[in-house]
Structure 1
Amino acid sequence: MSHDPNCIFCKIVAGEIPSRKVYEDEELYAFHDIRPQAPVHFMIIPKQHVASLDEATAEHAPLLGRILTLAPQLAREQGATNGFRTVINTGPDGGQEVYHLHVHVMGGPRPWKVG
């Protein structure tokens, strides 16, 4: 499994940086965002280092499918029972700040910042 020793999300997966874990299995890790923009705001990341969605290939399709099918289950478990939003920031113009593929899942009672 690919790991970037300089990547903050790889360090979170390795337990080198603390996080508020939501979920973990052999391929995926989910944790609360440190700057939440909604009452429910967590991220799902692959444990394998993939820098961005732009670098995903056909071999990543099953992993991406798992992320997107896990999102609703975790959103409900975290309290987003009336819908949620998923966001994948990709590249500098897409607002990506951490170059490790991650899916934001946001929900909960509105109003909350959309942006």
Structure 2
Amino acid sequence: MAGAAGKGSDECVFCQIVNNQEQTDVIYQDGEYLCFPDRRPATQYHYLVIPKQHVGQAKTLTQQHVPIVERLVHIGRSVLEQKSIPFGDDVRFGFHWPPFNSIDHLHLHVLAPASQMGLLPRLAYRPGTPWFVTADWLLQRLKKMPEDKSNTVQTGVAEP
């Protein structure tokens, strides 16, 4: 599926990881997706799940990207299961919401246990804020979009 905004570049650290130009500990990999630990973990288990193909930030996604987001969440849950990490109410799956994101390559944050995050991470990964949305919220938003929606969504603050 085509990217939502922009193309992969030599400057995108996630594209560099996909192309083996940047090293990381790969936890999961298939032909289309990759999962690895966040370099600055906010809690004991903090993973990033990305599509290998450069897909733009969460705010630019459309209804056609629902399968990608669903797959990212599925992989995140599978990784937690494989590592025997319970993913009940103390796990957070979400995305930073532009302009409060540092990398414009779609990436799902998988955080467990969420209750053990420090003060700053609790703020940075707090659902329902203008800077962080849950995967469930994003999926609901995308599913409500008309199919012919343009690739760039011009909304402001994320709703909880």
**TM-score interval, normalised by the smaller of the two chains:** 0.7 to 0.9
Q: 1:53 aligns with which of 58, 66, 75?
A: 58
User: Do the aligned partners of 2:50 and 2:107 also contact (CA within 8 Å) in 1?
Assistant: yes
Q: Post-superposition, which runs of at least 4 consecutive aligned residues in structure 1 deviate over 4 A?
A: none
Which one has the largest radius of gyration? Answer: 2
Amino acid at match of 2:79: L
Structure 1: give runs of 5+ residues left out of the alignment.
none
Structure 2: give runs of 5+ residues left out of the alignment.
124-160
Counting aligned pairs with the same residue, the percent is 27
1:100 aligns with 2:105: yes
User: Do the aligned partners of 1:44 and 1:102 also contact (CA within 8 Å) in 2?
Assistant: yes
1:76 aligns with 2:81: yes
1:42 alignment counterpart: 47
Q: Which has the higher contact order (CA 8 A, sep 6+)?
A: 1
Q: TM-score if structure 1 supplies the norm length?
A: 0.86
Deviation at 1:110, TM superposition (A): 4.6
Inter-partner Cα distance in structure 2 for 1:87 and 1:31: 15
> Which structure is higher in strand share?
1
User: Do the aligned partners of 2:92 and 2:114 also contact (CA within 8 Å) in 1?
Assistant: no
1:3 aligns with 2:8: yes
